[in-house]
Structure 1
Amino acid sequence: MARYAEPGVTEWVESGGGPLVAVPEVVLPFWTGADGDDLSSDYDRACDINGSIGLLPVGDTRALVLGDEPASTAFLPDHGTFVRWYAANSEDELLAGVPTALDTALWEPEVEWRVPGPLVVFDAAWPGDGSQRTDHLRVELEPGRYGVCAAYVSAGPETWLGLVRLRRLTA
């Protein structure tokens, strides 16, 4: 995991150039990455996602693809949001802009995602059972239904970030 500040404060995950994917831990062995046997690998399917987010079937659930750009990404549990680092002079500058960005974001349409529990975020090219050997991030989520939406926000003249919000749905 990439760290830009004190260890344990904010952990970031990066890809080798393709999209990141958030796969529920219970179906990690079913994510084949770029090694798929079919005409189209899981990695190919992830690359085919147009836009900031998309959901792909994996096992008996779905994985969340963080598309658009291969940006360094962190999960901020206090905000229930993935933050994607597009441009900033420092991590402190980027993170300081998050509250305002959340308040002013123009959110894309929300999709519903049923999450069976904790997630592992990693480069979509890796197979799920190999994700622990590469740059990855574990995200603790309670099982349930979530509304997921994304936004691209300028938090300052030289600070640009992506947001992917996970909102727990109750009804």
Structure 2
Amino acid sequence: MVSHADQGAVEWVESGGGPLIAIPEVVLPFWAGADGDETSSDYDRACEVEGYIGLVPVGDTRALVLGDEPASTAFLPEYGTFVRWSAADSEAALLDRVPEALSAAEWEPEVQWDVPGDVVLFDAAWPGHESARTDHVRVALEPGRYAVRAAYVEPGPEVWMGLVQVRRTGG
């Protein structure tokens, strides 16, 4: 298990102000980001997601949009959870509270996400084929169905975070 006390042990992804998106690697070339016609782009579709999470079609599958606010986000595989940094004095202060936050979370309704394999988390404004040129993180997921749920938690004084948990439910 990664020691969260080691500064920089976790990779964080930031956006330029809009939502982050986790797109299956196999359909990255189909995501145009903010590029598109004058009336609607893939980025516009991601921005239309209300609440903490939502799914949007990409190619022959769907991508997970992390909505609400453009918080720095990391994936902690030991918890199967995207952690969204809303407030904390340090990375360690935030990450040390994750177990407590997971226990205290009041989860929003789940969405079902069929995933063909690994996903890439990055700023939804970028085209998928350019995701490696910006903040991004690759998240290893086995192909299958996942239940995704989200919560906003304040587990301690001046420590606030969003949680997006991805749990495998079937093949």
The residue type paired with residue 34 of structure 2 is A
Q: Secondary structure at the match of 1:164?
A: strand
Instruction: Measure the CA separation in 2 of the matches of 1:45 and 1:39.
Output: 11
How do residues 16-165 of structure 1 correspond to structure 2 at under 5 angstroms?
16-37=16-37, 39-165=39-165
State how far apart, in whole Å, the 2-side matches of 1:120 and 1:89 are.
27
Farther off after superposition, 34-43 or 76-85: 34-43
Amino acid at match of 2:149: C
Unaligned runs of 5+ in 1: none
Alignment size in residue pairs: 167
Give the Cα separation in 1 of the matches to 2:84 and 2:167: 17
Which amino acid in the other structure matches residue 60 of structure 2?
D
Q: State the shift of 1:5 in Å.
A: 5.3
| SS at structure 1 position matched to 2:92 | helix
2:135 and 2:37 map into 1 onto residues whose CA distance is 24
The DSSP-based 3-state class of the residue aligned with 1:69 is coil
What amino acid does structure 2 have at the position aligned with 1:111?
A: V
CA distance in 1, matches of 2:12, 2:155: 19
Find the residue that maps to 1:56 and give its secondary structure: strand
Task: Report the Cα distance in structure 2 between the residues aligned to 1:41 and 1:5, rounded to whole angstroms.
Answer: 39
Q: Deviations over 1:78-123 (max 9, x none)?
A: 0000000000001011001000100110000001000000111000
* 2:160 maps to amino acid: W
Superposition misfits of 4+ residues, deviation over 4 angstroms:
none
Structure 2 distance, partners of 1:148, 1:6, is 28
Contact 1:5 1:91 survives alignment (8 Å): no
CA distance in 2 between counterparts of 1:102 and 1:73 reads: 16
Displacement of 1:157 after TM fit?
A: 1.1
Q: What is the CA-CA distance between 1:37 and the residue it aligns to?
A: 3.1
8 A contact 2:7–2:91 mirrored in 1: no
Measure, in 2, the Cα distance between the counterparts of 1:95 and 1:43. 29
- TM-score w.r.t. length of structure 1: 0.94
Conserved in 1, the CA contact under 8 Å of 2:151 and 2:163?
yes
- Contact 2:35–2:41 (8 Å) recurs in 1: yes
Identity of aligned residues (%): 71
The answer on whether the counterparts of 1:31 and 1:42 sit within 8 Å (CA) in structure 2 is: yes
Return the offset for 1:170. 2.8
> What TM-score do you get using the length of structure 2 for normalisation?
0.94
Structure 2 gaps of 5+ residues are: none
2 CA distance for matches of 1:36 and 1:21? 17
Deviation at 1:129, TM superposition (A): 0.2
Which string of whole-angstrom CA distances, capped at 9 and with x for unpartnered residues, describes residues 146-170 of structure 1?
0000000001010000000001103
Q: Is the 2:54–2:66 Cα contact (8 Å) retained in structure 1?
A: yes
